[in-house]
């Protein structure tokens, strides 16, 4: 992999972490209402997968989708504004945190009913296959979603008609508070796909390079007409299910063990020679320390460059938050316009005036 790609992925991981932490802060300060599901810990999945995809590919995601949207290229400001329900939000303030949509970037939405991403992706892939286009459809979902009926229904149809879908399971081991051994009879999720004859692979979801490589290979098979492919990303969310969830059902030792394997830290250790600051140690970044003795060997980045990168990212996210704060709220007229937009050419009751 070339150095630019590695640097870009590192930048996106830092952006992802910074964005989500800023969102958490805004929530804590009462600026964001409703549900807020954050991604820290899982960044390697979104970044690795989406950097291995083409801009023409379609993305279908869940309610934990800010980072998918961000890495997909939706401006941080438009996402942040949506979290605040502003008119300038990517969904015009009508969607919110769980419903980011961007037609131009082929981001087909965040869905807040578990298991909905499967049929949406199925339909998008059906359209692509019917039109004989080269695109793939990327379908994200969590470990909890594999017990929904739509998982089985959709995988069956995707395999039956050999549709161009890449199924990406973000297995963070918890469906809200229920640990995987308590929600699934077969906990190696990739094996479920085998029941439908879909090639499946388990990937270290904390290693962005492994994620990128597995995705690149799987997408090549999708584009070669081999039908749906399945990747199980083993990952972990550092926070609770949502901001309303302290995550107290998880043993501290488990959380710490995964934090020691922080995907951002893992990427950093591949590119920099860096001793964490006291602040970073305090915020759980001490996982870097144990590994940094061999990091400098790669030499992709020096400490000064990394500091610049962190500053750029911090500035970008701060600007996004400011933009969101200063943006106007949508009006009820805007809401009606969103609802009625698609019937603007329809005559409902009256004949057209001659």
Partner 1 sequence: MTTMRYWQALNRALDAEMAEDDAVLLLGEDVGLYGGTYRVSEGLLAKYGEWRVRDTPISENSFTGLGVGAAMLGLRPVVEIMTINFALLAMDAIVNMAAKIPFMSGGQFPMPLTVRMPGGVARQLGAQHSQRLEAMFLGVPGLRIVVPATPQDAYWQLRQAIRSDDPILVLEHELLYFTEGEVDENLPAPPLHQAICRRAGTDLTCISYSRMVSVAEAAAEQLAKDGIAMEIIDLRSLNPVDWDRCMHSVEKTHRALILAEDPRFGGVSGELTATLQERCFYWLDAPIGRLAGLDIPTPFNGALEAASIPRVADVVTAAKALLSPDKER
Binding site for partner 1 (CB under 8 A): 58, 60, 89-95, 99, 101-103, 108-109, 111, 113, 116, 118-130, 149-150, 153-154, 156-157, 160, 337-339, 341-343, 345-351
Instruction: Work out how close the CB of 300 gets to partner 1 at its nearest, in angstroms, rounded to a whole number.
Output: 38
Give yes or no for a contact between 19 and 319, defined as CB atoms under 8 angstroms apart: no
In the complex with partner 1, the residue whose CB is nearer, 109 or 276, is 109
Rounded Cα gap, residues 19 and 9, in angstroms = 15
Instruction: Work out how close the CB of 310 gets to partner 1 at its nearest, in angstroms, rounded to a whole number.
Output: 33
Rounded Cα gap, residues 265 and 110, in angstroms = 27
In the complex with partner 1, the residue whose CB is nearer, 8 or 156, is 156
In the complex with partner 1, the residue whose CB is nearer, 127 or 209, is 127
Instruction: Work out how close the CB of 81 gets to partner 1 at its nearest, in angstroms, rounded to a whole number.
Output: 11
Q: CA separation (Å) from 346 to 17, 58, 352?
A: 45, 29, 10
Instruction: Work out how close the CB of 230 gets to partner 1 at its nearest, in angstroms, rounded to a whole number.
Output: 16
Instruction: Work out how close the CB of 17 gets to partner 1 at its nearest, in angstroms, rounded to a whole number.
Output: 27
Q: CA separation (Å) from 49 to 35, 110, 233, 325, 345?
A: 25, 17, 10, 31, 39
Rounded Cα gap, residues 35 and 37, in angstroms = 7
In the complex with partner 1, the residue whose CB is nearer, 146 or 295, is 146
Give alpha helix (H) positions in 224-296: 252-259, 263-271, 278-282
Give yes or no for a contact between 49 and 65, defined as CB atoms under 8 angstroms apart: no
In the complex with partner 1, the residue whose CB is nearer, 125 or 206, is 125
* First vs last C-alpha separation in the chain: 65
In the complex with partner 1, the residue whose CB is nearer, 45 or 139, is 139
Rounded Cα gap, residues 70 and 92, in angstroms = 16
Instruction: Work out how close the CB of 215 gets to partner 1 at its nearest, in angstroms, rounded to a whole number.
Output: 21
Give alpha helix (H) positions in 52-203: 66-72, 76-83, 117-130, 149-160, 180-183, 190-194
In the complex with partner 1, the residue whose CB is nearer, 35 or 101, is 101
Give yes or no for a contact between 190 and 202, defined as CB atoms under 8 angstroms apart: yes
Instruction: Work out how close the CB of 243 gets to partner 1 at its nearest, in angstroms, rounded to a whole number.
Output: 20
């Amino acid at each position: 992999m070339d150095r630019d790609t590695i640097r870009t992925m590192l930048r996106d991981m830092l952006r992802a972490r910074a964005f989500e932490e800023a969102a958490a802060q805004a929530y804590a300060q009462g600026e964001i209402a409703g549900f807020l599901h954050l991604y820290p810990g899982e960044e390697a999945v979104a970044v690795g997968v989406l950097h291995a995809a083409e801009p023409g590919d379609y993305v279908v995601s869940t309610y934990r989708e800010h980072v998918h949207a961000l890495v997909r290229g939706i401006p941080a400001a438009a996402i942040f504004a949506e979290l605040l329900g502003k008119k300038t939000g990517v969904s015009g303030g009508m969607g919110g945190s769980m419903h980011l949509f961007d037609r131009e970037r082929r981001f087909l939405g965040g869905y807040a009913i578990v298991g909905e991403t499967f049929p949406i992706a199925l339909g998008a892939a059906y359209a692509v296959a019917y039109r004989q286009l080269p695109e793939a459809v990327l379908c994200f979902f969590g470990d909890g979603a594999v017990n929904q009926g739509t998982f089985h229904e959709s995988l069956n149809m995707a395999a039956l008609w050999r549709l161009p879908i890449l199924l990406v399971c973000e297995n963070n081991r918890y469906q809200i508070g229920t640990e995987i051994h308590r929600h699934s009879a077969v906990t190696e999720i990739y094996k479920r796909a085998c029941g439908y004859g879909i090639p499946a692979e388990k990937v270290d979801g904390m290693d962005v390079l492994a994620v990128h490589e597995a995705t690149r290979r799987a997408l090549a098979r999708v584009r070669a007409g081999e039908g749906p492919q399945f990747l199980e990303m083993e990952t972990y969310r550092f926070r609770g299910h949502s901001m309303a969830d302290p995550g107290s059902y998880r043993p501290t030792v488990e959380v710490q063990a995964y934090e020691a394997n922080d995907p951002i830290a893992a990427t950093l250790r591949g590119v920099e020679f860096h001793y964490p600051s006291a602040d970073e140690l305090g915020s759980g970044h001490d996982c870097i320390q144990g590994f940094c003795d061999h990091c400098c060997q790669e030499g992709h980045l020096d400490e000064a460059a990394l500091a610049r990168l962190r500053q750029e990212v911090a500035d970008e996210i701060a600007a996004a938050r400011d933009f969101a704060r200063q943006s106007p709220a949508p009006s009820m007229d805007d809401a009606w316009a969103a609802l009625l937009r698609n019937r603007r050419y329809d005559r409902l009751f009256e004949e057209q005036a001659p």
